[in-house]
């Protein structure tokens, strides 16, 4: 009996062992069948990209085309050519002692200028370019720039007819004889000259529209110091239009011949202001009037008489003025 029980117990134990071994194999087959979803999570790659395929990241080995290449030579700014020119290339003086101041324009600026005349028996020139007529003839005025060695020249023509001595008759060329010093007339070897009558004549004969007589305020503004000089006659007119088709006409008879050069300088200052030659903006403002003041302005003198005229007929007016004496 005991032998049967032991045999039965041993059989049950073997059956249990066999059952345990078969369960392990079944479990292993289930995990490898792929029927269960893969619940593993793939983590992103946290490594630093090498940038070899990223076109947005510049490659330090390549040159940066956005920055200027210092190896390339930089071209210098072109330098302006040196030049020298004069405000006139040719002009005429119509009486002995008449003057005209030439202006030089130099590039680069700042060089000292030397002025010379080819014939000082015809015309002389001062250190500031003022040309003075001496005798009938033609001379060449030359300016030389000491810094560049450049020269510029202008022809001056001294052209007037020598008049026979006056035997006491009065002049009838554009003016009238008064003989009355209380009215501003002045006695001379050629009679007296009425400057107001002369202006009235040229104002009627030539194009001088809207001419207005200058008052003392205008004179002090345009010709500072002129009213302080001793004058026997002072006739001054300017055009009231803007832009102006005509310029100033100023006629002066001075009491002292020593003041002639002062009046000429005041007249030249007025021209320089209106043309911008003094370095300021042109007082004439518009191109036409500025050109008129530059090319059609004249300063002439005869004895104690001085005239400034700015008009397209300036040379004819100068002839008429010289005909007074």
Is residue 42 predicted with pLDDT exceeding 70? Answer: no
Q: The dihedral of CA 266, 151, 105, 154: what is its sign? A: positive
Q: What is the pLDDT of residue 231?
A: 92
Structure tokens at 177: 């004889």
pLDDT for the residue numbered 70 = 55
Give the model confidence (pLDDT) of 175-200 as tens digits: 322 222 222 333 333 447 999 999 99
Is the model's pLDDT at 315 over the cut of 50? yes
Percent of the chain residues past pLDDT 90, beyond the cut? 38
Token output for 162? 């020598």
The string over 5-41, giving b where at least 16 C-beta atoms fall within 10 Å of a residue's C-beta and e elsewhere, is: eeeeeeeeeeeeeeeeeeeeeeeeeeeeeeeeeeeee
For residue 257, give the DSSP letter.
G
Strands 83-86 and 104-107: antiparallel
Find where tokens 């070897």 sit: 189
Residue 274 pLDDT: 92
pTM assigned to the model: 0.47
Q: Supply 218's token pair.
A: 């205008």
Paired with 144 in beta bridges are 114, 151
d(C-alpha 74, C-alpha 190), whole Å: 73
Model pLDDT, residue 182: 29
At residue 189, the pLDDT reads 36
Q: Strand 123-125 to strand 151-158: parallel, antiparallel, or no bridges (unpaired)?
A: unpaired
137's tokens:
């003839």
Report the pLDDT value the prediction gives residue 31, as an integer from 0 to 100: 42
Q: Residues 119-140: what's their mean pLDDT? A: 91
Q: Among 66-70, 258-262, 306-310, whose mean pLDDT is lowest?
A: 66-70
User: For residue 251, what pLDDT is reported?
Assistant: 97
Contacts of 173-180 with C-beta under 8 Å, sequence gap 24+, read: 173/320, 173/323, 173/324, 174/198, 174/201, 174/202, 174/320, 174/321, 174/323, 174/324, 175/201, 175/324
Given pLDDT bands bounded at 50, 70 and 90, which one contains residue 79?
A: low
Q: Is the pLDDT of residue 323 over 80?
A: yes
Q: Give me the mean pLDDT over the 86-115 stretch.
A: 84
Mean of pLDDT values over 125-142:
91
What's residue 130's pLDDT?
87
What is the average pLDDT across 117-133? Answer: 91
Distance CA 171, CA 187 (A): 11
Average pLDDT, the chain: 76
> Is the confidence at residue 257, as pLDDT, over 80?
yes
pLDDT at 126 over 50: yes
> Higher confidence at residue 3 or residue 224?
224
On the question of pLDDT at 64 being above 70, the answer is no
Give the pLDDT band of residue 75 (cuts 50, 70, 90): low
pLDDT of residue 63: 54
Assign 174 a pLDDT band (cuts: 50, 70, 90).
very low
Q: How confident is the model at residue 267 (pLDDT cuts 50, 70, 90)?
A: very high
């Amino acid at each position: 009996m005991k032998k049967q029980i032991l045999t039965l117990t041993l059989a049950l134990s073997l059956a249990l062992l066999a059952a345990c071994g078969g369960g392990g194999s079944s479990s292993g087959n289930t995990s490898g069948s792929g029927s269960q979803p893969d619940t593993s999570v793939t983590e992103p790659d946290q490594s630093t990209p090498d940038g070899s395929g990223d076109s947005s990241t510049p490659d330090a080995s390549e040159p940066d085309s956005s920055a200027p290449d210092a190896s390339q030579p930089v071209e210098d700014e072109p330098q302006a050519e040196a030049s020298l020119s004069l405000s006139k290339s040719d002009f005429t003086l119509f009486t002995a002692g008449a003057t005209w101041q030439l202006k030089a324009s130099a590039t680069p600026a700042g060089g000292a200028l030397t002025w010379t005349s080819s014939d000082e028996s015809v015309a002389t020139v001062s250190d500031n370019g003022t040309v003075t007529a001496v005798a009938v003839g033609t001379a060449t005025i030359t300016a030389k720039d000491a810094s560049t060695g450049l020269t510029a020249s202008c022809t001056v023509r001294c052209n007037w007819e020598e008049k026979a001595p006056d035997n006491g008759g009065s002049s009838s060329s554009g003016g009238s004889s008064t003989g009355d010093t209380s009215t501003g007339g002045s006695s001379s070897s050629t009679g007296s000259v009425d400057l107001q009558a002369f202006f009235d004549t040229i104002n009627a004969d030539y194009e001088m529209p809207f001419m207005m007589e200058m008052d003392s305020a205008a004179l002090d503004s345009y010709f500072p110091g002129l009213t302080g000089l001793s004058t026997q006659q002072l006739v001054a007119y300017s055009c009231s239009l803007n832009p102006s088709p005509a310029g100033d006409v100023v006629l002066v008879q001075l009491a002292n011949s020593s003041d002639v050069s002062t009046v000429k300088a005041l007249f030249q200052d007025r021209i320089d202001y209106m043309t911008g030659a003094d370095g300021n903006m042109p007082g004439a403002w518009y191109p036409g009037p500025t050109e008129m003041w530059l090319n059609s302005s004249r300063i002439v003198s005869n004895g104690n008489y001085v005239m400034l005229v700015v008009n397209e007929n300036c040379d004819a007016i100068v002839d008429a003025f010289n005909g007074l004496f």
